[in-house]
A = this chain, B = another copy of it.
Amino acid sequence: MSETIGFFTIPGESGYEDLTLNLAKRWGADCVRDCDGTKLSDQILNSGMQVYSTLCIIREHNEYVRKHPEHQQQVFLESKRILCTGSSVCLPLLDGYFKKQFQVNESVDSLRYWQVFDRTSQKEIPSSDWKYDSLSQSVLVSNPHAFHEYSVDFMAYRIWEEINMYNHVTNDWNNEPLRQLDPRYPEVREYLLQWLDAWCNSHRETSIVRFTSLFYNFVWIWGDDENNRHLFTDWSSYDFTVSPLALDQFVSRFGYSLSAEDFINSGLRNPSHVAWEGKMMDYLDFTNQFVSSFAKELVDVVHRYGKKAYVFYDDSWVGMEPYGHRFSSIGFDGIIKCVFSAFETRMCAGVEGPDVHEIRLHPYLFPVGLGGSPTFTDGGNPALDAQKYWVQIRRALLRSPVQRIGLGGYLHLTEGYPDFVDCITGIADEFRMIKDLHQCDSPLVYRPRIAILSKWGKLRSWTCGGHFHEHPDLDLLNILESLAGLPFEICFLGFDELSLDLLDDIDVIINAGIATSSWSGGNAWCSDTVVEILNRWVWKGGTYLAVNEASAFPGCDTGLRMAPVLGLILDDGSRLCHGRWPICEARQYTTLFGNASLFGKSNILILDSETEIIKAEEGRIVAASRSFGAGRGVYLSEFRYTAANTKMLERLLLWCCTNEVHQAFSCDCDDVSLTYFVNKKILVLSNTSNNEKSVHCETPYGLIIETIEPFGMVIMAKGESNVFS
């Protein structure tokens, strides 16, 4: 039984009323929710808990779609490329795509946006040289260039709402596929407003309407070959928002038009990991404006019925931009995010506007979890899974609180997993304890004040657009996962807003990623002004911390635009004949690097004898440092989240600012983090490992020796017994 109650959302399940009410009591739940495919019974609805209803506003309108298929959502696709070996080329449009997801939009409005390309010469074919054959759903190119490749960018309806499609295909469902509407069409908006009004009216028991989420899903293009089902997936890209109407409206607002090829981008599309050009940023703003304004209309309906409106920060969240300047104007009362990691917890906690930030814990109450691995089924260990996720989330919650936690899925699956039930009981208590610690108090923060510099800036605060397990190799994502639990003040800066005034309040800039990426900056590094501002700021005392290929720019002779600050060169093979400075570790940095472990980069060379090597590995640089005026350039070859690397990053950041690695409260164990709440003089030790840890902590109040159980958390108040005196 929980020692504390509240701030916990339980998924109710009809047919399991006793279980629902029993677990609600054990976990201290004050709120009950429905889930995809579940409906709550009266016994649950009347249990005294607040009721939460999930609503995916754009789907479950198949009846409407049958009448107005032209109001379905769309996407630009590129046909498979075909080599010209004869006198004409035939391009079948949907070859290779999942036919149940797409249907060619053959309307006149659609066709005027199609483009055919010679992909060898990268030149567009004039429309007089191609025609669409509706029967074969192919484009025929006349007068092609022999042995060049051709493809067509065309528009297709998305005829299956993607989340429904995924659940359907994964779980072998038999019910009718759900279609999805595009609220760009005024008729759709009017229809949805009326529909929502009726829904609110007929669901008096619902206290909270949880939108899942708004209108446009993250892009998720499927192929017809099961060996490569997911052709393109990005949690932050806007490919699923296009339509002839949207593009026409875009011209009216911006005075120029977007083409199919702006979206197809030679088949590369526009993943959010690659720095976007101005056009796509305009399109983001354009879509965000529309999404925000219609979302506000929907929220107003909910509010009119005295209900709260929460939104799910996943799935159909595209265009919503919780870190954008329009989000708070929508008027959501709460934001909910399902989280696996510390950075996602901070991402939810940091959204401004809603009163309630709620996280959905993993594992969900489903038979299988990530990548099909067993959870609540043979071979699964949901209690261990829950603990592993929780200790990462806890690191973030100790730095920055959220208001609620909860679970999702089918409650009956917990039967037979009593250790899971116990584990959640413990987690709920720990959550409420941490929440209490943050009441009128905050954890100690050290200098330096840190800015994450990327092309996205604040808009992608605490994220690289996706989950950790999807992109485990992104340096910045790993850094965010470490920083999420570290005692520093973090802000997110875009290249466009860089100025010396703004940087006055920053001690360290972290800039991380591979050359082309939006995270390292990509094409933002073409600007001399950026380099000049950063050079000047470091010279005056700042630290520029570069990871991997940060500041790389193709036209730059040293490979890295910040080469003078870092004292390093990124070689693309052009320096095969240049001499190389020897790579020797400077002994004084042994403690600084500690037990951290990273791969060195063989194509990072030393600029001159003034660069100091913090760490090398088989002749490859792992970490380096260089004085630059009153400041410093620091380099890491990559970053991967581990406990030891996190502690190294913490020491490195302290050292950048102070030349020392000392902090007032410190702990000698990589797996144990330490948080000090200033007003209440409370020290929290939390163990992220599955092993018992004995630690020595230095504090201004003396040395503390403590043993912490696996995944355990210890809270000590100053003056309490002999542990913190």
CB within 8 Å for A564 and B83 given contacts A148-B528, A516-B573, A573-B515? yes
In the complex, the answer to whether A228 meets B579 with C-beta atoms within 8 Å is yes
Min CB distance, A571 to chain B, in Å? 10
- Are the C-beta atoms of A532 and B148 separated by less than 8 Å? yes
Cβ of A233 under 8 Å from chain B: yes
**A576 contacts chain B at the CB level, 8 A cutoff:** yes
Q: How far is the CA of A268 from the CA of B231 in the complex (A)?
A: 40
Q: Assess whether A581 is in contact with B516, with CB atoms less than 8 Å apart.
A: no
Which chain B residues border A272 with CB–CB below 8 Å?
577
Q: Per-position contact with B for A210-230: 1 when CB-CB < 8 Å, else 0?
A: 000000000100010101111
Q: Which residues of B contact A273 (CB under 8 A)?
A: 573, 576-577
Assess the B119–A557 pair: CB atoms within 8 A: yes
Do B577 and A269 have beta carbons less than 8 Å apart?
yes
Q: Mostly helix, strand, loop or mixed at chain A's interface?
A: loop
Is A631 close to B, CB under 8 A? no
* Interfacial chain B residues near A609, Cβ < 8 Å: 225, 227-228
Name the one of B234, B535, B572, B580 contacting A83, with C-beta atoms under 8 angstroms. Answer: B535
Indicate whether A626 reaches chain B with its CB closer than 8 angstroms.
Answer: no
Q: Is A85 close to B, CB under 8 A?
A: yes
Q: A121-B528, A535-B83, A579-B229 are in contact. Are A573 and B517 (CB under 8 A)?
A: yes
Asked whether A267 is an interface residue with its Cβ less than 8 Å from the other chain, the reply is: yes
- Cα separation A532 to B148 with both chains bound (whole Å): 6
How far apart sit A273 and B572, CA to CA, in the bound complex (Å)?
11
**In the complex, what distance in Å separates the CA atom of A229 from the CA atom of B609?**
12
Q: Which of B234, B514, B578 contacts A577 (CB 8 A)?
A: B234
One complex includes copies of this chain to the number of: 2
Contact A231 B579 (CB under 8 A): yes
Enumerate A184-222 residues with CB–CB distance to B below 8 Å.
219
Q: Does A306 lie at the interface of the complex (its beta carbon under 8 Å from any beta carbon of B)?
A: no
Size category, A interface: 35 or more
Chain B contacts for A514, CB-based, 8 A: 572-573
- Docked complex: A340-366 residues within 8 A CB-CB of B: none
What is the bound-complex CA distance between A471 and B577, given in angstroms? 9
Q: Does A266 lie at the interface of the complex (its beta carbon under 8 Å from any beta carbon of B)?
A: yes
In angstroms, Cα B473 to Cα A580, docked, is: 15
Q: Which residue of B lies closest to A565 (CB)?
A: B83
Question: When chains A and B are docked, how far (Å) is the Cα of A558 from the Cα of B81?
Answer: 12
Which residues of A554-610 have CB atoms within 8 Å of chain B's CB atoms? 554-555, 557-558, 564, 572-582, 608-609
Cα of A555 to Cα of B265 in the assembled complex, Å: 12
- Asked if A223 and B579 sit within 8 Å, CB to CB, the answer is yes
Contact bitstring A296-323, B, C-beta under 8 A = 1, else 0: 0000000000000000000000000000
A229 to B580, CA, bound (A): 9
CB neighbours (8 Å) of A85 from chain B are: 539, 629
A261 to B: closest C-beta gap in Å: 11
User: A471: nearest residue on chain B (CB-CB)?
Assistant: B576
Bound-state CA distance A535–B554 (Å) is 29
**A147-B536 CB under 8 A given contacts A120-B528, A237-B577, A572-B516:** yes
Contact B579 A230 (CB under 8 A): yes
**Minimal beta-carbon separation of A258 from chain B (angstroms):** 19
How many whole Å from A270's CB to the nearest CB in chain B? 9
A146 at the interface (CB under 8 A from B): yes
The reply to whether B81 and A564 form a contact with Cβ atoms under 8 Å apart is yes
Contacts of A575 in B (CB 8 A): 268, 271
Say whether, besides A516-B573, A532-B145, A532-B147, A557 and B268 are in contact (CB < 8 Å).
Answer: yes
Query: A274 at the A/B interface (Cβ < 8 Å)?
Result: yes
When distances are taken between beta carbons in the complex, the residues of chain B under 8 Å from A481 are none
Contacts of A274 in B (CB 8 A): 573-574, 576
Q: How far is the CA of A121 from the CA of B532 in the complex (A)?
A: 10
Which residue of chain B has the shortest Cβ distance to A557 in the bound complex?
B266
Given pairs A148-B528, A228-B579, A516-B572, 13 additional interface contacts (CB within 8 A):
A83-B535, A85-B629, A120-B531, A120-B532, A147-B532, A148-B532, A227-B581, A230-B579, A233-B579, A266-B557, A268-B575, A269-B577, A514-B573
10 A/B residue pairs, CB under 8 Å, sorted by A: A96-B608, A147-B536, A229-B579, A231-B579, A232-B579, A233-B577, A233-B579, A273-B573, A471-B576, A515-B573
Sorted nearest first, the 9 A-B pairs with minimum C-beta distance are A266-B557, A271-B577, A147-B535, A234-B577, A514-B573, A230-B579, A228-B579, A147-B536, A231-B579
